[in-house]
Amino acid sequence: MQLERVTPESVGIHSKGILDFIDLAERRGLELHGMMLLRHGKVCAEGWWTPYNPASPHMMFSFTKALTSTAIGFAVQEGSLALEDKLCDLFPDKMPENPGENLLRCTVRDLLTMSCGHKTEIDTFDVSKPDWIANFLAHDFQYAPGTCFMYNTAGTNLLCAALKRRTGEDLFAYLTPRLFEPLGISGVECFRLPDGVEMGGAGSRLKTEDMARFILFVAQHGMWAGKQLLNAAWFNEATAKQVETCSPAYDVQNPDWRCGYGFQFWRCVPEHVVRADGAFGQYGVIFEDKDAILILQSASVNQQDQLTCAWETILPAITDQASLPESPMAHVLQHRLKKAEIQPMLSARNPMAEQRFGGRRMVPDAKLPGLADLIGGIWIVAPQGGETQALRLDFAADKAVLTAEQDNGAFSVDIGLQSHFALSTLCGRTYGAVGRWRSETCFEAEIRCAEAVAGKRMLFQFDGDTLTLQSASTLPTSGGIADRPPQSYTFTAAQ
């Protein structure tokens, strides 16, 4: 089924409100990567900020939880799982020696509502405790199940493990014939935990339209193309407030995280609004009483701001009228979205420096990963491999080319030198880069993988036959999930 494209006014939405959202997001320093707005199942606005694009799947983080919830819904519908199934019955071989009463009472429902009873979350990747399921079950169930909300990605991952135990299938293999194929979603994948269980709490990548199709399916309460694929009663529960999110174990002050939680879906500050939610702003928002959905892919460390922008601009723009008179703002919006680009740096050329340093083979003084892994990105979790043996910058009329001579071949990315991102393909993924000379000896490049939330800002500081490369995340925070801390590498010119 193709999604129909229409103007905002034809479905009762003011184009100016969508433009106001984009303007407000920019003024507040929010980085948008892609967006789609639908009403009555029709796409009335869509755009991608170069180098992000409709063809590249984007890291979803916890938006994945909504897919896991839906898989559990199918399993309940088919009788493979029940909401009242107890963890002790699902994982008898993983139970601690003397399980407490709270653990013995904990059910699938409690995992879905993030109220299993934990006060803190386990580290799923703790190498000292490689059996993460046993670790989860041995973790203190301090509160009675169903009484205390605590955001718990490991609990969502445990739902995937329970699904696999009962059906013998991985999360996405299970969803493929039931959800993905009927909705026209293909080529999706989910990162696996060390024991092979797919990380349904955070590990998927989806294209923008894949997100839209899924959220539209949720908004239609399991209906797609006239067929009821998953019973509507599931979504009545999944998107309703099942548990209060303000609790002794969870006291986030952001307003949209204090409105209650369903089965891996969040309720929102405006009435009749629910969302699927991933780190750094991967949103599927359902305006229940407006028959509208908003899809966002973005990169912000302040996710509340993104939602607030939508409540202040897009929500008031959705009228109760079936249609509005066509507006010239629709053409302005279409042009704005067609030309959207991550705010690029203003390029500056230095012909003398390019002639002096261009083409020089610089050999790393220590072991250096291949180019794709050097650029990295938040949760590009599968290393591409290779070791860089030499690095060089070549300059042409409109671009620079950064090339890594690796032990497994030569790999390169184009760097735009006309104040816009140049696009290229590296290891099967789309990359965009823009650069400039900051001084006579310092070249700066911003390089992004279109599948990752953040990229790298690299400074190439030349000093005679020596090059120092400093590399840091494009996000204003670093470390942990927000990427590695700034790195520094030194090179010497090849003789």
**Nearest to 141, CA basis, from 126, 128, 125, 158:** 158
To the nearest whole number, what is the mean pLDDT of the chain?
Answer: 95
Mean pLDDT of 326-338: 97
Residues 113 and 262: beta-carbon distance below 8 Å: yes
**In a shared domain, residues 297 and 412:** no
Cα 234 off chain centre by:
25
pLDDT tens string 29-38: 999 999 999 9
Domain termination residue (choose one: 338, 361, 395): 338
Percentage of the chain lying above the pLDDT 70 cut: 98
CATH of the domain at 231: 3.40.710.10
389 inside domain = yes
- pLDDT band of residue 380 (cuts 50, 70, 90) is low
Residues with Cβ within 8 Å of 115's Cβ and at least 6 positions away in sequence, in order, are 143, 145, 146, 147, 148, 149, 150, 243
419 inside domain = yes
**Nearest to 182, CA basis, from 221, 226, 219:** 226
Please give the tally of structural domains in the chain.
2
Mean pLDDT of 72-77: 98
**In a shared domain, residues 289 and 359:** no
200 inside domain = yes
CA distance 410 to 369: 13
**In a shared domain, residues 263 and 384:** no
Domain of 80 in residue numbering reads as 9-338
**In a shared domain, residues 304 and 410:** no
pLDDT at 484: 63
267 inside domain = yes
pLDDT tens string 174-226: 999 999 999 999 999 999 998 999 999 999 999 999 999 999 999 999 999 99
pTM over 0.85: yes
Domain termination residue (choose one: 338, 362, 395): 338
CATH of the domain at 406: 2.40.128.20
**In a shared domain, residues 154 and 267:** yes
CA distance 149 to 116: 8
3 inside domain = no
**In a shared domain, residues 108 and 34:** yes
